[in-house]
Amino acid sequence: MRSFRVDWYEQHPWLDYSTTNDATYCLYSFLSRDAMTMEGEVTVYAQPGAGYKNWKKATSKDGFRKHVGQNCSKHHSAALEYDNRKTTVQDVALAIEDQSISERLQNRSRIKFILDVCLLLAKQEIAFRGNNEKDNSENKGNFHEFVQFMTDNNNIFPTLYRLICLVCVLPVSTATTERSFSAMKRIKTRLRTTMGDTWMSDLMLLAIERDLTNKVDKDAVIDLFNDITPRRKRF
């Protein structure tokens, strides 16, 4: 008794064999939107309850070749529909992949931005948290407020930053000699009255922490964050 042969797939790539029904189907015709309304011999290959089982004639002109038929046959129409649908699916898959890549780049940029804020606050020895970080709080702390400020002023920040630098430097650049020496004298007096072992130890600790922030590899932190799964919230 003959049975289905695997090498038939190579000669007829459209074949789809069901081990349950011990029958072959035409993948193109089976997936066609007109599969359930097809009439004639093609229904054997298109409808689930049917299927071609005459293995003796499978490779003869009355078998698979008869189903394929001429260029204008229903098989060729179903094959063309399958190719068009496959192209559409591939286009959609590419679009989804492009969107996924874009989202990953945006997420990476956002994480890098947050890291920059953290490193800046650490270098300047500024406290991160506030006394009240609830949503209705008017001041959620330096970290939250700085991130919000940078987000709201992302486009104008470069110009604003240069303006702030100019305002900060202007009093120094226009100060008189007498005023400069007076300020230096006050600083010297302040240092003499506050300098001690505890104070120096605290300064050394802050300096060490500041040096450590300079050695932080932001890309490594981002990659480490990306490896943490699952994440409840996406940025």
Domain boundaries, the chain: 8-69, 95-227
Task: Report the distance separating Cα 5 and Cα 11, nearest Å.
Answer: 11
pLDDT in the model for residue 1? 46
Amino acid 47: pLDDT: 63
- Measured at the CA of 10, the angle between CA 8 and CA 13, to 5 degrees, comes to 90
pTM above 0.75?
no
What's the pLDDT score for residue 30?
Answer: 74
User: With contact defined as beta carbons under 8 Å apart, do 143 and 128 qualify?
Assistant: yes
Q: How confident is the model at residue 51 (pLDDT cuts 50, 70, 90)?
A: confident
Q: Which residues make Cβ contacts (< 8 Å) with residue 87, sequence separation at least 6? A: none
SS3 78: helix
Q: Region 155-159: what's the mean pLDDT? A: 62
As a whole number, mean pLDDT of residues 70-94 equals 74
Residue 12 burial (CB < 10 Å; 0-12/13-18/19+)? middle
The residue-averaged pLDDT of 131-154 equals 75
pLDDT score of 220 more than 70? yes
CA distance 100 to 116: 24
CA proximity to 52, closest of 65, 34, 33:
65
Q: By C-alpha distance, which of 92, 90, 59, 74 is closest to 28?
A: 74
Mean of the per-residue pLDDT values for the chain?
71
Are 146 and 121 in contact, with CB atoms under 8 Å apart?
yes
* pLDDT higher than threshold 80 for residue 24: yes
For the cut 50, the answer to whether the pLDDT of residue 175 exceeds it is: yes
Q: How confident is the model at residue 207 (pLDDT cuts 50, 70, 90)?
A: low
Q: Please, which pLDDT band fits residue 60 given cuts at 50, 70 and 90?
A: confident
**Rounded mean pLDDT, 80-109:** 75
CB 160 within 8 A of CB 172: no
- Specify which residues 16 forms β-bridges with: 25
Rounded mean pLDDT, 144-158:
71
Average pLDDT over residues 172-188: 67
